């Protein structure tokens, strides 16, 4: 990504859409209102990339927002590009000084965009900034996390991270030990909302298209740090993110076909990330997760208790998905053809 001396907008805000028409409409209405509250001398454009939605999302944007008070540009993809590659389409076309990513199920609180711009302008070494994410009921959502390591992944798998969230050791994966009211330099922030400095992207490049969904923002934040920039969490930038609510009880749900597909995507991306940044430890990461689910299956498979039988069946499925993901990615070396 090239850096120019002049841009038409202070910020380019990009939203990737996939079959979320009504949420997307709410998001755009809220975002247009927020853009209208930008400070003097600031302006913004909105870029929507539609990932071949089947629910009329792209037609709705074209019909209802062509004459919006804030510039709204639509990009139609004929296939589902995934999160990172779709954002790359918008980044290549963006004409804003700062790049802002926003999920279609995320809503900026009043003044959040101004505060995010204020923060990144005050900290010239900040390559990425993230927000304080909250659920629809206002409860806190993990907003900044630690990079994947074998130890941290084991803490999540075993449930120790959830059992001892206030421990700096066990709460490290999602920084649950930290005071959410304090700004901090962190490993990575979620793509539900992030503001990016063009100067950092000029060094690192944009999203790695090898990641279809999951780990793309982890990889980008890692590359930005390796380039000498910083990743920050800013608690005064409030964003409501609805997506986090549906995932609260994932560990207690039986796998549907959709859940299994999403889990396969997660494992593929996780293996690609490990191979890219940790080399041969990709095999160790696979062994760790396989061992955990093998033990879970053995512990529960002979039980007559329904929930334990369901847990054993889920473990069987995850073991098969781990095998398939390893095969699909050649041990994390190759991304399967998209769309996944």
Share of the chain above pLDDT 90, in %: 92
Is residue 157, in this structure, part of any structural domain at all? no
pLDDT band at 248 (very low <50, low <70, confident <90, very high): very low
Residue 247 has pLDDT above 50, yes or no: no
What's the pLDDT score for residue 243?
81
Q: Which of 216, 246, 276 is the last residue in one of the domains?
A: 246
Residue 313: give the domain boundaries: 250-328
What's the pLDDT score for residue 245?
38
Is residue 210, in this structure, part of any structural domain at all? yes
257 shares a domain with 118: no
User: Which one is predicted more confidently, 244 or 292?
Assistant: 292
Q: What is the pTM of this model?
A: 0.93
Residue 318 has pLDDT above 60, yes or no: yes
254 shares a domain with 240: no
Is residue 151, in this structure, part of any structural domain at all? no
What's the pLDDT score for residue 259?
84
What number is the average pLDDT over the span 175-199?
A: 97
Domain tally for the chain?
2
What's the pLDDT score for residue 249?
32
What's the pLDDT score for residue 5?
84
What's the pLDDT score for residue 255?
53
Q: For 40-49, 101-110, 254-263, which range has the lowest pLDDT when averaged over its residues?
A: 254-263
Convert the pLDDT of each residue in 75-131 to its tens digit: 999 999 999 999 999 999 999 999 999 999 999 999 999 999 999 999 999 999 999
Convert the pLDDT of each residue in 163-174 to its tens digit: 999 999 999 999
Q: Which of 246, 262, 285 is the last residue in one of the domains?
A: 246
User: Secondary structure of the chain in the HEC alphabet?
Assistant: CCCCCCCCEEEEEEEEECCCHHHHHHHHHHHHHHHCCCCCCCCEEEEEEEECCCCCHHHHHHHHCCCCCCCEEEEEECCCCCHHHHHHHHHHHCCEEEEEEECCCEEECCCHHHHHHHHHHHCCCEEEEEEEEECCCCCECCCEECCCCHHHHHHHHHCHHHHCCCCCCCCCCCCCCCCCCCCEECCEECCCEEEEEHHHHHHHCCCCCCCCCCCHHHHHHHHHHHCCCEEEEEEEEEEEECHHHHCCCHHHCCCCHHHHHHHHHHHHHHHHHHHHHHCCHHHHHHHHHHHHHHHHHHHHCCCCCHHHHHHHHHHHHHHHHHHHHHHHCCCCCCCCCCCC
What's the pLDDT score for residue 252?
39
Average pLDDT over the chain, rounded to an integer = 94
What's the pLDDT score for residue 250?
34
């Amino acid at each position: 990504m090239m850096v120019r001396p002049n841009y038409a907008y202070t910020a380019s805000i990009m939203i990737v859409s996939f079959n979320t028409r009504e949420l997307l409409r709410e998001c755009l209405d809220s975002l247009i209102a927020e853009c209208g509250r930008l400070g003097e001398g600031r302006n913004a454009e909105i870029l929507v990339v539609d990932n071949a939605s089947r629910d009329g999302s792209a037609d709705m944007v074209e019909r209802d927002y062509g004459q919006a008070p804030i510039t709204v540009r639509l990009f139609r993809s004929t296939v589902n590009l995934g999160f990172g590659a779709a954002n790359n389409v918008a980044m290549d076309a963006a004409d804003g000084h700062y790049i802002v990513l926003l999920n279609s199920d995320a809503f900026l609180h009043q003044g959040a965009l101004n505060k995010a711009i204020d923060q990144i302008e005050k900290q010239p070494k900040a390559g990425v900034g993230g927000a304080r994410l909250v659920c629809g009921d206002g409860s806190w959502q993990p907003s900044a996390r630690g990079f994947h390591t074998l130890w941290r992944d084991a803490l999540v798998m075993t449930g120790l991270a959830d059992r001892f969230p206030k421990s700096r050791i066990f709460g490290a994966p999602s920084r649950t030990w930290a005071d959410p009211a304090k700004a901090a330099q962190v490993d990575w922030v979620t793509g539900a909302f992030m503001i990016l400095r063009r100067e950092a992207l000029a060094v690192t490049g944009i999203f790695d298209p090898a990641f279809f969904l999951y780990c793309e923002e982890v990889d980008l934040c890692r590359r930005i740090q390796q380039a000498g920039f910083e990743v920050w969490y800013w608690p005064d930038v409030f964003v409501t993110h609805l997506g986090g609510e549906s995932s609260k009880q994932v560990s207690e749900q039986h796998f549907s076909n959709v859940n299994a597909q999403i889990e396969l995507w997660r494992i593929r991306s996780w293996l690609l990330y490990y191979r890219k940044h940790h080399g041969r430890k990709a095999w160790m990461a696979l062994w760790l997760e396989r061992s955990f689910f093998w033990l879970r299956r053995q512990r529960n498979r002979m039980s007559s208790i329904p929930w334990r039988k369901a847990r054993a069946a889920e473990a069987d499925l995850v073991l098969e998905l781990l095998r398939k993901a390893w095969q699909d990615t050649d041990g994390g070396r190759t991304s399967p053809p998209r769309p996944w």
